Amino acid sequence: MSNPHHAALLAKAKTLVDALPYMQRYAGRTFVVKYGGHAMGDPEKAVDFAEDVVLLKAVGINVVVVHGGGPQIGAMLKKVGVESQFIDGLRVTDKATAEVAEMVLSGAINKEIVGWIAKAGGKAMGVSGKDGGMVTARKVQRTRKDPDSRIEQVVDLGFVGEPETIDTKVIETISNSGMIPVIAPIAVGPEGGTYNVNADTMAGAIAAALGASRLFLLTDVPGVLDKQGNLLTDLTPAAIEGLKEDGTISGGMIPKLETCIHAVEAGCEAAVVLDGRVSHAMLLEIFTQEGAGTLIRAA
């Protein structure tokens, strides 16, 4: 008569054996993970995420976490009475908004993630892109057509930046000391001012600068879906362009995939769009043949 407990233990052992080739393949490599979306606000999913990054670090992978925090910034702005202005869906970041964004991102959220990792048995150090001059930013330039004249106009989004240079020394120092860097998407401008940077964009730029093996964008969708709702598991920049043209890809997925394309064309081996709401999605993607999201390679 078979022992159910023994069978369960054997299944766990087989899972570890199946994962071994992937552990060996990625040992010593770097993974950059953008953590955000609704998964970040779910305590149960936060525990799963922390356990995943601690496990990856334990098997010899250098994990770098870059986090977002848009909803939390919005809530704090409302709490302190700062009204947000939006242009074409983009938040205009004036000086007061930039100060709140830095407080929320570099403070409460950053240290909360560090705490989750500590609870899961790991060691993390929370920093922002300003620390050690890690990320310098240039002001984001956007244009839009005037609805009446149809003339292109420059839109001033205030203290919103995009990465211009990445100095990886701080990240490498933290990683080499056995800790996990947790990075808030705040950067320093050319005049020494503070710029708020989109977390996806920050993660992509850091992944490229580090020559990361993987960039993971944890989102609120399973990945890139075809028109029938099936997951597309492997894409190239050329394939993505075709999917944009025929309308398969639209809305918020477009800038995410553009981030992936920029990263893989600038030195990151591959990028993955994953559903952060699925427990242990990263482990399923890395340690199984089937994977769990959409993988993007340069060619």
* 88 or 265, which is more confident: 265
Prediction pTM value: 0.87
Q: Of 190, 176, 166, nearest to 30 (Cα)?
A: 176
Place of tokens 């800038």: 255
Number of domains in the chain: 1
Give pLDDT, residue 112. 93
Q: Is 69 labelled a binding residue? A: yes
Q: Which residues contact 133 (CB under 8 A, 6 or more apart)?
A: 167, 188
Q: Is residue 278 part of a domain?
A: no
Cβ neighbours, 10 Å, residue 59: 15
Q: Determine the pLDDT at residue 197.
A: 93
In a domain, 147, yes or no: yes
Q: Is 153 helix (H, G, I), strand (E, B) or coil?
A: strand
Selection from 81, 209, 70, 60 nearest residue 135 by Cα: 209
**Is 209 contained in some domain?**
yes
Six token digits for residue 299: 């060619």
pLDDT tens per residue across span 99-156: 888 998 999 899 999 999 999 999 999 999 999 999 999 988 776 666 666 667 677 7
The answer on whether 196 is annotated among ligand-binding residues is yes
| Residue 121 counted as an annotated binding residue | no
Residue 298 predicted with pLDDT over 80: yes
Residue 249 belongs to some domain of the structure: no
Q: Output the six-digit token pair for 51.
A: 């356990």
Domain that holds residue 204: 27-221
Question: Can you tell me the distance from the alpha carbon of 42 to that of 113, in angstroms, rounded to the nearest whole number?
Answer: 12
Give residue 1's pLDDT band: very low, low, confident or very high (50, 70, 90): very low
Whole-number pLDDT of residue 140: 83
Here the CATH number for the domain that contains residue 207 is 3.40.1160.10
In a domain, 165, yes or no: yes
Q: Which of 163, 253, 175, 236 is nearest to 203 (CA)?
A: 163
Query: Residue 247: pLDDT above 90?
Result: no
Do the strands 294-296 and 214-219 form a parallel or antiparallel pair, or are they unpaired? unpaired
In a domain, 183, yes or no: yes
Q: What local confidence, expressed as pLDDT, does residue 6 receive? A: 65
Answer yes or no: is 236 within a domain: no
Whole-number Å distance between alpha carbons of 187 and 7: 52
In a domain, 55, yes or no: yes
d(CA 149, CA 134): 42
